[in-house]
Amino acid sequence: MLSESSAAVVAATLPAVQAHGEAITGRFYQRMFDAHPELLNIFNQGNQATGQQKAALAAAVVAYAEHLTGAGNMPWGPILDRIAHKHASLGITATQYPIVGRHLLAAVGEVLGDAVTPEVAAAWDEVYWLLACELIAREARLYTTAGVAEDGSVWRDWRVAERTRETADVVSFDLVPADGGPVPTFTPGQYVSVAVDLDGGRGQQIRQYSLSARPGAGHWRITVKRVRGVAGAPDGIVSTHLHEQVAVGDTLRLSPPFGEVSAVGDGGPLLLVSAGIGLTPAMAALEYLAATEPERPVALVHADRTSAGHARRHELPRLQQRLPNLSVHLWYEDAADGELAGLKAEIAEGLVDPELIPLVPGVRVHLCGPVPFMAGVRGGLLRRGVTAERIAYEVFGPGMLRS
């Protein structure tokens, strides 16, 4: 709980912080990276370049302050869990929080100037440390469960056992522990971080990828779409590296599985909705259910630009044979050549219409795809009576659903 005196100060200064939020977080990142360039190895430089990261941080800080002062109604438990899982997948440690706090509060002072009195600085420092302590506690529990040391040493070497070209822009990598040790289990819907050392002295970069094969398969699989820059955004440096530089026999550094979202839920009818490369947790879920609950009612809804760009769709007939209660519903912006031998599917042209997604009583939903896609589908399902607690979704990057 925020102290009464700090709550009053934060409530009074919240409009100013909100109005200058992105200026504050932009200055924060500049200050922190100047003082600690080693942290560039943790933060996504693509999101830094587009400004997404500073916008997301500004929104999160303001929303948390609103939560503490009672001005917002966003449920923060699930959001904190999501942030903690992402932090744990990066190896964030408690010792790094004072660095962030120092530079964030200094940035507030530099942007807002004389308006930041000692009382204002103390109040916002309290906000930051309430958030930090909640995250540190959650992350410590995650590290303990994953068997990670307190120093955040999450990395383990994995060898590429197989590489499969799925489409022109998508590749799957099957991975086994380089030391020959056991393959840890995971929950479909979880992801791992992949750390790569970039050519040309550009340092390390880390990205998260969903595990896209079933638990217990004897290997892990990640399915990676090559990110091509559009509208001034840069190409994805990690996905490009994986596509162009990583071959069978090479070694990658991976974290343990993290992620608070299960793609299979806790039984009953299941609806898997995905778009583009967001299909990866759905494929892990289908493989898992085929091995463990083959009679479970499942509907798969997937959207893609074309059938040729729909990665791993050739696996669907086999899965449908093993899952007799699996229905498949595909939306392609260009549905030419959408039919696939052996697959029973409804195929439509255009964008997914949430009103046409099949629903049954008690269904649990898992969404994965671009944030605007998920927001639109989630909003449509809510309007049709699916309750929010029955809709799980995974967001990669700094976006957040608010509908």
**CA 136 to chain CA mean position, Å:** 19
- Among 162, 117, 131, 140, smallest CA distance to 12 is for 117
CB-based contact 270:299 (threshold 8 Å): yes
The pairing of beta strand 204-210 with beta strand 191-197: antiparallel
SS3 158: strand
Question: Would you state the structure tokens that stand for residue 21, as one six-digit string?
Answer: 């939020």
CB-count burial class (<10 Å; 0-12, 13-18, 19+) for 82: middle
Integer Cα distance of 89 and 154 in angstroms: 7
- Do 280 and 212 meet the contact criterion of CB atoms below 8 Å apart? yes
3-state SS record for 87-122: HHHHCCCHHHHHHHHHHHHHHHHHHHHHHCCHHHHH
Q: Catalytic one among 29, 64, 97, 191?
A: 97
Of the listed 29, 64, 66, 139, which one is catalytic?
A: 139
Catalytic: 64? no
143 tagged catalytic: no
Q: Which two tokens stand for residue 309?
A: 């760009």
Torsion of CA 363, 364, 368, 374, to 10 degrees: 70
Residues 6+ apart with CB under 8 A from 318: none
Give catalytic residues, as residue numbers. Answer: 97, 139
